[in-house]
Structure 1
Amino acid sequence: MFFILSKIIYWLIMPVSLIAWVAIGSLVVKQKKYRQLLHTSAVFLLLFFTNPLLSILIINSWEPEAIPYNQLDGHYRYGVVLSGITNPDRPPFDRVQFNKGSDRIVHAIDLYQKGIIDQIVITGGTAAITFEGHKESHALRGFALSCGIPETDINIEDQARNTRENAIYTADLLKQTQDEILLITSAFHMYRSKKCFKKVGLHVVPFPTDHYGRSLRYTPEELIIPSLNALNVWTTLTKEWVGILAYKLAGYL
């Protein structure tokens, strides 16, 4: 129920939804003064959420910086990869269909090949609500195998549907290990992931990947021309912030 409710709340307040609610209000409200106010607000929200400069500033302030390999302090038995980066129900099914976020597994493989981690742990089943879907961890395991990672050094759990369950089931899989683990997920998702894994007693070292942020370029198209990518950044952040708030209220963090 919590899983479904959080998705409904996110859908209601995501940037596109907010713009739509205000725009619809401007069409149905009869009073001219309020109709004009709602119309102006809808235009403002559209320009705000599609402004590239604002989106870059907010995402850069939220995401932790990437960590160079040579700055990792030590050697790790496990590198834990959070899924949520593929479209497992998109045919054909003879390959992994990646969404944004493939850096999670690609960097994990790189870390293994460089000898920084001994084993890759992949956590995640499916986040589908209305159907079971194909297990993401199975697809990512197959991808890691195709990249030359030995089967004995890949561990998966395929039941988790959200970040809290990622943490719980990984702790069970690793039998509450006291080893430090390298936590590998997207930078925007690292705050919630780190808190969840620490909550279940695991000792994690964050390794953020898949950054949305980047350096500012002071050109007209970067400063004032509306961008769908900017809207996507705000949408991603809204989903993450709703998740963090819901997790705090539920005591998961």
Structure 2
Amino acid sequence: MDTIFFILSKVVQFCIEPLNWVIVFVCLGLVFLGLRKPHLCKRFLVFALLDLLVVGWLPASELLLRPLEDAVPRTEIGKLSPDDFGGIIILGGAIEGGNIATERGEISIHSSAERVTKAFELIRKYPDLPFIFSGFSGRVTPKGVSEAEAFKQLIKEQGLADRPAYYENQSRNTYENVIFMKPMINEIGQGKARKPWLLITSASHMYRSTLIFHQQGIEVFAVPVDYQTARSPQWTAFDLVDGAQNWNKLTHEYIGLFAYWVTGKI
């Protein structure tokens, strides 16, 4: 059932992402051109153009993405003592494992690189705190090394291999991140007072993540990174690449929130 849920979520996200509809509109335009119905052809080409304008005009996505990024306040870590934390949790989603890591011998980091750089910062700052990296692959057909294995290699390259580390390498989505980490967290905190863990993930992903952790009885301090929006909209900004990334994050998060709510996961 979890596998069906995982695949279905990927299909739905692909179907509703605005940029993917450009292909549909252009194909329909070509079909009607071949059927010698130029008025319908022009209409779908106009739809494709409008779609590109909506995707590229950044305020269109920023106005929807900003509430997600602001939903969970950032924890003022500097005002807390290391004794207030149970450990550090790093959620996957920023590292390219798979065939690239296997065939090139180097680990690539995506646009969400702040998840990794913030993790290195906190691991160095709190050398005695255990950390858990959670992530296998978000792909339907994963290949090569897992994200957890790739992060383990990065930790070694950074000279941090002597820190108390745990790796969860089975999860394919946020819900599985939490479910598979929960036994680790319980084992690490066994015989001690339960303390909140520092949670590192993208700002847009933090709201859904904290809901799942709370549902499973795990308290976390939010450390959001990878912000895509400023405090005020960039009204004149147009960028298809950034816009497409924003819409990808938007659809991913809102579909995830809806699906997890329907299935009782949050």
How many Å separate the matches in 1 of 2:206 and 2:92?
13
1:142 corresponds to which residue? 153
2:115 corresponds to which residue? 104
Instruction: Tell me the SS of whatever aligns to 2:205.
Output: helix
The RMSD of aligned alpha carbons is 2.7
1:70 corresponds to which residue? 78
How many Å separate the matches in 2 of 1:50 and 1:73?
44
Alignment pair present for 1:204 and 2:210: no
Alignment pair present for 1:237 and 2:250: yes
Counterpart of 2:215, as a letter, is K
How many Å separate the matches in 2 of 1:122 and 1:9?
28
2:46 corresponds to which residue? 40
Instruction: Tell me the SS of whatever aligns to 1:213.
Output: coil
Instruction: Tell me the SS of whatever aligns to 1:127.
Output: coil
- How many pairs are equivalent? 250
Q: Kindly state the Cα deviation for residue 86 of structure 1 after the two structures are TM-superposed.
A: 1.3
The partner residue of 2:8 within 5, 9, 26 is: 5
Distance 1:45 1:120, change over 3 A: same
Q: Over residues 16-57 of structure 1, what are the superposed CA-to-partner deviations in whole Å (9 max), with x where a residue is unaligned?
A: 222222333344356666555433332222111110233333
Counterpart of 1:80, as a letter, is I
1:184 corresponds to which residue? 200
Distance 1:48 1:191, change over 3 A: same
1:84 corresponds to which residue? 93
**TM-score normalised to structure 1 length:** 0.85
Q: How do residues 102-141 of structure 1 correspond to structure 2 at under 5 angstroms?
A: 102-115=113-126, 118-141=129-152
**TM-score normalised to structure 2 length:** 0.82
Q: Is the Cα–Cα contact under 8 Å of residues 75 and 222 in structure 2 kept in the other structure?
A: no
Q: Is the Cα–Cα contact under 8 Å of residues 187 and 210 in structure 1 kept in the other structure?
A: yes
Alignment pair present for 1:195 and 2:195: no
Q: Kindly state the Cα deviation for residue 149 of structure 1 after the two structures are TM-superposed.
A: 2.5
Instruction: Tell me the SS of whatever aligns to 1:118.
Output: coil
How many Å separate the matches in 2 of 1:126 and 1:239?
15
How many Å separate the matches in 1 of 2:58 and 2:180?
38
Counterpart of 1:106, as a letter, is T
Identity of aligned residues (%): 24
Q: Kindly state the Cα deviation for residue 5 of structure 1 after the two structures are TM-superposed.
A: 1.3
Alignment pair present for 1:17 and 2:20: yes
When structure 1 is superposed on structure 2, of 125-134 and 154-163 the one drifting more is 125-134
Q: How do residues 138-177 of structure 1 correspond to structure 2 at under 5 angstroms?
A: 138-175=149-186, 177=189
How many Å separate the matches in 2 of 1:133 and 1:249?
33
Instruction: Tell me the SS of whatever aligns to 1:151.
Output: coil
Counterpart of 2:210, as a letter, is K
Q: Kindly state the Cα deviation for residue 175 of structure 1 after the two structures are TM-superposed.
A: 1.9
The partner residue of 1:227 within 236, 240, 243 is: 240
Distance 1:72 1:42, change over 3 A: farther
Distance 1:24 1:96, change over 3 A: same
When structure 1 is superposed on structure 2, of 134-143 and 84-93 the one drifting more is 84-93
Alignment pair present for 1:250 and 2:263: yes
Q: Kindly state the Cα deviation for residue 191 of structure 1 after the two structures are TM-superposed.
A: 1.3
When structure 1 is superposed on structure 2, of 70-79 and 227-236 the one drifting more is 70-79
Q: Runs of 5+ in structure 2 lacking a partner?
A: none
Instruction: Tell me the SS of whatever aligns to 1:156.
Output: strand
